Amino acid sequence: MNKERVEYLVKELLQELGEDVNREGLVDTPKRVAKAMEFLTSGYKKTPKEVINGAIFEAGQDNMVIVRDIEVYSLCEHHMMPFFGRCHIGYISRGKVLGVSKLARIVDCFARRLQIQERLTCEIAQAIKSEIGAEGVGVVMECRHLCMMMRGVEKQNSIMTTSSVLGSFRSNPSTRAEFMSLVQR
């Protein structure tokens, strides 16, 4: 990202909004926005393999692994407004497990891009399945969208829920039901 160009564009936007870009509160705003956007879109510079960084471990078990309530913060690609919430991930390994913090890093890898929640949910599930060859993967995401809360229909209490189930989580109803019941606790 060309930070200087982004700063220039933010300054132009502020002027178009009728703001005085030289007033005290706005003088450094273009720099702050450029820095924030660099962080909030840092996922474009990462891949799941890089964020996992070799933290895949042999495990003799093939039981379900679940991590609940991973915080998610992203930007909606339609309005560039935040959406935020929780992500729940479950998988059944085929002898390989991820370091637990790597699941949160995979979430961030994809969330720190301009996104829609539906695609974000699928990308997380597909990355986990492909990186460890999991027998099955389930991802459920529950988010609030500021583009729906602050503008448009202005519905403050709406929560969007999406899920992606792959492998045995898709083909085996009892596996899917077990996962869903465990993440709803």
Q: What is the pLDDT of residues 113-147, one digit of tens each?
A: 999 999 999 999 999 999 999 999 999 999 999 99
The domain segmentation of the chain, as residue ranges, is 3-40, 45-183
In CATH, 3-40 is 1.10.286.10: yes
Question: Rounded to two decimals, what is the model's pTM?
Answer: 0.94
> Can 24 be counted among the known catalytic residues?
no
What proportion of the chain, given as a percentage, has pLDDT over 90?
96
CA distance 145 to 160: 8
From 15, 38, 50, 78, the catalytic residue: 78
Q: Name the CA dihedral angle for 101, 107, 110, 114, rounded to a multiple of 10 degrees.
A: -130
> Can 88 be counted among the known catalytic residues?
no
> Can 109 be counted among the known catalytic residues?
no
Exposure string (b/e) for 69-108, b if CB count within 10 Å is 16 or more? Answer: ebebebbbeeeeebbebebbbbbbbeeebbeeebbbbbbb
From 12, 71, 77, 118, the catalytic residue: 77
Angle at Cα 71 formed by Cα 79 and Cα 66, nearest 5°? 130
pLDDT at 74 over 80: yes
From 76, 87, 109, 143, the catalytic residue: 76
Task: Note whether 147 and 81 are within 8 A (CB).
Answer: yes
> Can 76 be counted among the known catalytic residues?
yes
In CATH, 45-183 is 3.30.1330.10: no
pLDDT for 46: 96
- What is the pLDDT confidence band of residue 177, given thresholds at 50, 70 and 90? very high
> Can 145 be counted among the known catalytic residues?
yes
From 109, 115, 117, 131, the catalytic residue: 117
CA distance 9 to 141: 33
From 19, 122, 142, 147, the catalytic residue: 147
Q: Exposed, middle or buried by CB within 10 Å (0-12, 13-18, 19+), for 60? A: exposed
